[in-house]
A = this chain, B = another copy of it.
């Protein structure tokens, strides 16, 4: 159901996927509008007509990235231990997936930001804060149910550190096997970490 006006001559969703991949690979400021238009195969004016600004395009790209995450079966798992394990294994597989850039876009795409673009940094740090809150909530529930004794925040921060670190390892060309080995180690540690 197209409204009035000249119809767009390119696939907006495909262009957004291209932008997501570029931002994911190199980061917000390291990707120029010229890089984007070249990869999308469109003109500068079309990009601005369709997406408004570089920042709005990045926000859409981050939303797309967060939406395509399959939730990893995190909420379906019966125990917190299994929830964490499913999440970590899904991410380990995703981070070394050869068809996508290595590591997590939310961790890697807005690390080096000049003061002028601080809202972009805030965007991703807010997402990480929300994700941490979700993990803490899930662990707190399990803690209240008596699944483990360690403070839920401490458990969350430990597994978050492992998770974030895997993004850096992926950027350093860690293989799927190596990332899975990290998850194996982290899960072997579950009892020692959660019962203290």
Which A residues are closer than 8 A to B by beta carbons? 26-32, 107-115, 125, 128-129, 132, 150-151, 153-155, 157-158, 160-169, 171-172, 174, 178, 181-182, 184-186, 188-189, 191-193, 196
Tell me if A's interface is mostly helix, strand, loop or mixed: helix
Q: Which of B128, B181, B184, B186 contacts A172 (CB 8 A)?
A: B128
A185 to chain B: which residues have CB within 8 Å? Answer: 150, 154-155, 157-158, 189, 193
| Min CB gap A5→B, angstroms | 35
Question: Which B-chain residue is minimally distant from A107 (CB atoms)?
Answer: B168
- By the criterion CB–CB under 8 Å, are A26 and B114 in contact? yes
Q: Which of B27, B109, B154, B162 contacts A161 (CB 8 A)?
A: B162
Question: Which B-chain residue is minimally distant from A32 (CB atoms)?
Answer: B114
For the complex, give the distance between the alpha carbons of A53 and B184 in Å. 45
For the complex, give the distance between the alpha carbons of A171 and B109 in Å. 14
Q: Which of B115, B150, B161, B171 contacts A166 (CB 8 A)?
A: B161
How many monomers of this chain does the complex have? 2
- By the criterion CB–CB under 8 Å, are B128 and A157 in contact? no
Q: Which of B31, B115, B157, B178 contacts A178 (CB 8 A)?
A: B157
Most chain B CB atoms below 10 A, which of A28, A163, A181: A181
Q: Can you offer 21 A-B residue contacts whose CB atoms are under 8 A?
A: A27-B112, A28-B112, A29-B29, A29-B30, A31-B114, A108-B112, A112-B112, A151-B181, A154-B182, A158-B162, A160-B165, A161-B168, A161-B182, A161-B186, A162-B162, A165-B168, A186-B189, A188-B192, A188-B193, A188-B196, A192-B192
Question: Which B-chain residue is minimally distant from A173 (CB atoms)?
Answer: B125
Known contacts A164-B164, A165-B165, A129 near B172 by CB under 8 Å: yes
